[in-house]
Amino acid sequence: MVNRDQVAGIAKQVKGTLKQAAGKATGSRRMQVEGVSERIAGKVRKAYGDVKDKVRKAL
């Protein structure tokens, strides 16, 4: 079962990837960095959701 944190994390990863690609296409270093940071934040949130899901299944 997928929870909200997992979905939000994946969405943020996708948004970050798109922002990073747009930054590369336009030559905007700032947008690239923002994209990378959003991808990392998305991975962290998804990992939190994964742990939350495992704990829920264990109980």
pLDDT at residue 2 greater than cutoff 90: no
For the segment 9-28, the average pLDDT, to the nearest whole number, is: 97
User: Comparing C-alpha atoms, which of 22, 26, 4, 3 is closest to residue 14?
Assistant: 22
Kindly list the domain boundaries of the chain, sorted by start residue.
Answer: 4-58
User: Comparing C-alpha atoms, which of 37, 32, 45 is closest to residue 3?
Assistant: 45
For the segment 21-47, the average pLDDT, to the nearest whole number, is: 97
For the segment 8-26, the average pLDDT, to the nearest whole number, is: 97
For the segment 25-45, the average pLDDT, to the nearest whole number, is: 97
Dihedral in degrees, nearest 10, Cα atoms 28, 30, 32, 33 = 160
pTM: 0.87
- What is the rounded CA–CA span in Å between residue 49 and residue 10? 10
